[in-house]
Amino acid sequence: MEYIIVMGIFVITIILLLFAVAGIAIKLWAKKDGEFAGTCASQSPFLNKDGAACGFCGKTPDQFENCNEEVHN
């Protein structure tokens, strides 16, 4: 009986993980050039607490307010 419950939870977990991977794959497929928008970590105050410049474009976090580059929009 416990084996059936454990297998059921395992199957549900696998199905949910497949949905998550499929969702990410669909998003990449639907986006132009398959890129995520706003992937620069220096845009996030949670990831960039030191105010370091972007490794991609070299801008500091306060310069992203007027950023016209397509990668960051």
* Per-residue model confidence as pLDDT tens digits over 29-73: 877 666 666 556 556 666 666 767 776 677 776 666 655 555 544
CB 42 within 8 A of CB 61: yes
What is residue 11's predicted lDDT score, i.e. its pLDDT? Answer: 97
**Token pair 């794959």: residue:** 25
Of residues 17 and 73, more confidence is placed in: 17
Q: Is the dihedral of CA 15, 16, 20, 26 positive or negative?
A: positive
| pTM of this structure | 0.47
